[in-house]
Chains A and B, each alone.
Chain A
């Protein structure tokens, strides 16, 4: 009897099976993919989707991102009704888009608009990985380009949150050209003194990391975010060498001089406010009069 208590059987009985792991009720509870802690989704959302136990940054839907940063009621969305066509007549593309629209309640992989952040007016673009992995096709490129043009017209900063697997394959070379289009818009804006802030979130790869995501006057990233040009597997196959554990993480990029800072989501609003303050402070305090 007593012996039974110490048998091996007891040990693995307490570990949930694969089946049980998936049985966490979706919606009510969320399991952290990093530390495996199961928590109330409500609690997680309230914590800006940062794991309450290990600080893993869960993907943040564009709506929540905007609500977490902009002053209440200040957001006005641009081009919400813009949707993709099927320029290559790619098989099943329209159906996939429709399915993602239903699933995510978004028309495309980026939300753009204007609002104020602690009183600072700005134009904001937030990519959303819930829609086609945040991939960039014609609509994403056009919406970002128009948002940059709007920032230029209004003379306000442009803030972008990236989350994307890269260019959208189903729109072929037109997706590729969005890299040039968005970058060109940023160049014209920048030449007129426009402030560009890029915050890379998980994941920011391929054509998005190789265009607007890397073009901020300030390039920030969230902790642990995957950021890179080529996929890890592609690199492993090409170079046949062991890649470091932290390869292509935000921290790896910071170490290699590719980022200004890695910022915890809880400190993001404060950091952005500070940067915006400093940019607006020019001429204040009587420095230029004396």
Chain B
């Protein structure tokens, strides 16, 4: 077998020269230990390789063998509930092999090929099948059925399929004969190159929201299933916390959490917490629907670069079975930084801020893989991507934030000032936006209430006005404002404290159903409208404040359970009573 020899080593980048024929993005094995690498540049007989492991101790002249295969991962039952590194190596297995510290040169497939699964056939001999056709299923976890699909590139007639029973993941479960009479064997496992999107039949308009239970998101800046969102925020603004909340509460079938250059301790928190948390839909452990990819900041940089592709490939695999998948990538800036680091090692001419000029195209390729689709087996499935961005120097004009903004449809801008005053989630309602509002309009009207979007608009309008008023009053003081303007400040304060702020730890507040969100909106807008009437009748704002009706509203989020929404009506009645009493007293007074 022909090979190339290493002629240059510089950190995670090597150059190898020789006769062997490598193709772009081919996976290679280097040296005696067989370190995993990927070809990223070819020039005559020289190939530049990014190495997925620490390169200390590698020598000039080490042999490099090609595999003629681009970086691929195993897809099959047994992925859910696992923790992988950036190239789908199961971290628990690595621990068994190398102890508490990660050693290099360990190559284990992401799917346990020997494990037995109870296979239930869903196809018959003689059936015409093609790529993506579902031929059977296994219970992958308590809540997720893994649907076994015909791998890409295979089509024809089933000539044999096994009976229901226990089979190893790698065993042949069916044989397909194509037009030319060639027989292909199909197992429960397939391989897929991570940098290539998996095919589907049709792309659909994303018009169902991904409900997250977070008020500022669901009500103000919703994301659709199959949508893309960015969470930019400097350090300490609560990005990771928000990502965790979304992973916990969003109503996707499967969650893939990519810790891309994340902190080890935070990853551990996810690893410890998620198994204990319950999936609100079925009271099973959250891990029954979660896949974690942990490539912490001190793990090899090339694997960090690959981690988001690994994540999205797994996401597309489950999408093809007809599931709604949500991917949390924390953080895409660390991924961009990996690109920059490798680009620097390649001595490429840098573009903005040292980032390579292909940063925007890579970002757009990544976010472009999200979407709601009709799969090859005529199911509806979706992949939503929520990417955290850590802008360097907390400056939203830096290249990663700016380019991400071009390719995502929802922008949840986190704000340092809000975070400092411990307003969480620190999503700034002035700079954030969602482009899905129009698409989702009908859904909210049909499923929640006709007035939902109207109320939302009203709330946003008030908040925007508050922003202006605060600016004016900063200069001239609040006293010069008219009572109706002061009312806006009061109402918005209530909206901020009682609606926008949401506690991740309080039991009733951690996640809130849409209907409660709607009722809370109605409640505060009712206060606003009624109070405005009073003010128009000449009742001073101080009298209204003394009614303590705002305090009543503030209590709703903690004191009204998510299943006792009638209490909100009682509170509303109480508020209305107080208001009408005041009105009466005032009339008598005159």
A binds B: no
A-binding residues in B (CB < 8 A):
none
Residues of chain A touching chain B, judged by Cβ–Cβ distance below 8 Å, are: none
